[in-house]
Structure 1
Amino acid sequence: MNRFTVATFNVNGIRAARRRGFDDWLADRAPDIVALQELRCSAMDVGDFPGYAAALDVGSIPGRNGVALLTRTEPAAVRSWTTHPPKARGLAEFADHGRWVEVDLADRPLTVASLYLPKGGLPAHLQRAGSMREKPDGGAKHARKQRFFAAFGRELDRNRRAAVRAGRDYLLLGDLNVAHTRYDVTNWRTAGRMDGFLPEDRQWFDGVLGTRRLVDVVRLRHGDRPGPLTWWSWAGWSFGNDVGWRVDHQLATPGLAARAVSVAVDKEATPEQRRSDHAALLVTYRDD
């Protein structure tokens, strides 16, 4: 029975991640498909990935964002918001930010996307000067994320439907900057007043999922129990104490989700070995 492995990894700067051992990880793990987020450099500086074809959108903001999809064979089609502007009203302001790339695979009936969803912030009524790392902004970043949610939900639904009509499964990979359930964050009661676990964040995630839409593959395989986590702050003892969040996701159409056979998070053994503040999330699927 044929199987293929898919990884999603927010590298928090591909050049820094390579200095910390990303290339060794890639050669050792050898996933068939790899989604990357936060490349944070120009296309020229991304470099090559031996054994893979790379589809990129680095965006126009120097040193920020940037997404990629690595595949073993050249994809049949590549779409980014730079080359194929999004159709959903409200996404135009994000189109040149390097947040989205999508490919139709040439070697199996599957469309795959890599997303880096914008970070948000707290709504104005939850902001308190002196208790925040950043200066209060009156809820501007929160409003920006909510605008993205509303528009992207429509775009995602359109893309998923197009894939299904073409006889393809659909797989959304990436850093969604949302932890969906209480099992996806260590201190979930406290997190309920934090960006990424606000009621409106979780409600949006609810709307993306469904038995006829997309399935959270990790939760399906892992069950309703804590973890696995994929992000830990660089600060303090969060990594060593495993106090973190799962904001990195693989969301698949139901047929593909049902063929997931294993889930793994490549958390490094020690803080000194960390390649990013995120860890790679890998899922192995059966082919039909």
Structure 2
Amino acid sequence: MRIATFNINGIRAAQRRGFEDWLRERQPDVVALQEVRAPAAAVPPGVFGKYHFTYEEGVIPGRNGVAVLTMDPPAAVRTWSGTALVRAPGEDHSDTITLERGPLARGLREFADEGRYIEVDLADAPITVASLYLPKGGIPAHLQKPGRMRDEPDGGIRYARKMRFLDAFARQLTRSRREARARGRELLLMGDLNIAHTRYDVRNWRRSNQAEGFLPEEREWFDSLLSPRTLVDVVRTQYPGVDGPYSWWSWIPGSFTRDVGWRIDYHLATPGLARTAVAAGTDREPAEDRRMSDHAPVVVDYDI
């Protein structure tokens, strides 16, 4: 079973840049998407071909939006907002359905309507697949120096917000993993986590220790998610102790060509599923002018 995750940075832009060709050529069985960035009614008709499209768009215009593409209709759907668009191949309706919403971890309600998380139970395999778009965040106030930042100093507001998300999401993820196990399912969390876990996940890691996405506290949080009994970083098990494979490169000219990247897009799987991985990698485009997004798809083949 071929499963992919892809931050497409806007479905309409990705379509213009060749998303449909990639989908047709790679033929994944499941795809987790992040930053779809479109209201349901504006998703291009037919862009997902033969796939069922399950979508949590969120309420922020032109931002966020997470989805899962599957070959068969999902057996169950869950979102934090309690609503989702479920569209079969050939359909173009934009009406959402109301879902049975379970309890949310303390602190997560703040983010529930932002289109950051969706999970589905696959109909053709005992797996719960989740797509996550984690906030980018910022740096703490004491590291902010005017004139040396790309963004205006904000006193650490974006940093604090991301840390609140991390704290709440860790509890929610534990709940989701245990609930999947109770249903007899493995859990596969995929998406753009906006954190590079180790030095092997950032090309210029020495210069990135005070950058959002590679702060020590973010990396420690990532450490807390992983263990042989909870979740496994599937791609890293296929590439132990080597740089990359990166999945994000800045749009700054030359960054992609020089492979000055970050690995921030992940497959985090429960151990039983992780052991079935037989191949993994990043679908890095052959040239800068052929990029579909500032991210590249991360694809894993599981022997299921």
TM-score normalised by length of structure 2 = 0.92
Matched residue type, 2:74 = P
Residue 39 in 1 paired to residue 36 in 2? yes
Matched residue type, 1:223 = P
Residue 101 in 1 paired to residue 100 in 2? no
User: Over residues 220-243 of structure 1, what are the superposed CA-to-partner deviations in whole Å (9 max), with x where a residue is unaligned?
Assistant: 111111110000000121100000
Identify the residue that residue 15 of structure 2 maps to in structure 1.
Answer: 18
Identify the residue that residue 59 of structure 1 maps to in structure 2.
Answer: 58
1:87 Cα deviation after fit: 1.2
What are structure 1's unaligned runs of at least 5 residues?
none
| Distance (whole Å) between structure 2 residues aligned to residue 182 and residue 219 of structure 1 | 12
What are structure 2's unaligned runs of at least 5 residues?
83-100
1:46 Cα deviation after fit: 1.9
| Distance (whole Å) between structure 2 residues aligned to residue 33 and residue 86 of structure 1 | 26
User: Over residues 11-63 of structure 1, what are the superposed CA-to-partner deviations in whole Å (9 max), with x where a residue is unaligned?
Assistant: 00010000001011101111000000001110111234111111100100000
Structure 1 runs of 4+ off > 6 angstroms? none
Residue 268 in 1 paired to residue 285 in 2? yes
Matched residue type, 1:210 = S
Query: Helix, strand or coil: the match of 1:228?
Result: coil
Matched residue type, 1:133 = R
| Distance (whole Å) between structure 2 residues aligned to residue 86 and residue 60 of structure 1 | 20
Residue 87 in 1 paired to residue 104 in 2? yes
**RMSD of aligned residue pairs (Cα, Å):** 0.8
Preserved contact between residue 85 and residue 95 of structure 1 (Cα < 8 Å):
no
Identify the residue that residue 91 of structure 2 maps to in structure 1.
Answer: none
| Distance (whole Å) between structure 2 residues aligned to residue 29 and residue 283 of structure 1 | 11
Q: 1:43 to 1:86 in 2, by over 3 A?
A: farther
1:86 Cα deviation after fit: 5.2
1:164-175 equivalence runs, <5 A: 164-175=181-192
Query: Helix, strand or coil: the match of 1:69?
Result: strand
Matched residue type, 2:223 = D
Residue 129 in 1 paired to residue 146 in 2? yes
Preserved contact between residue 112 and residue 171 of structure 1 (Cα < 8 Å):
yes
Identify the residue that residue 224 of structure 1 maps to in structure 2.
Answer: 241
1:264 Cα deviation after fit: 1.8
Which of 236, 245, 254 is the aligned partner of 2:262?
245
| Distance (whole Å) between structure 2 residues aligned to residue 196 and residue 87 of structure 1 | 25
Q: 1:167 to 1:85 in 2, by over 3 A?
A: closer
Between 151-160 and 44-53, report the one with greater CA deviation.
44-53
Residue 205 in 1 paired to residue 202 in 2? no
Could you tell me the percent identity over the aligned residues?
A: 59
Preserved contact between residue 120 and residue 129 of structure 2 (Cα < 8 Å):
yes
| Distance (whole Å) between structure 1 residues aligned to residue 187 and residue 241 of structure 2 | 24
Between 84-93 and 267-276, report the one with greater CA deviation.
84-93
Identify the residue that residue 70 of structure 1 maps to in structure 2.
Answer: 69
TM-score normalised by length of structure 1 = 0.97
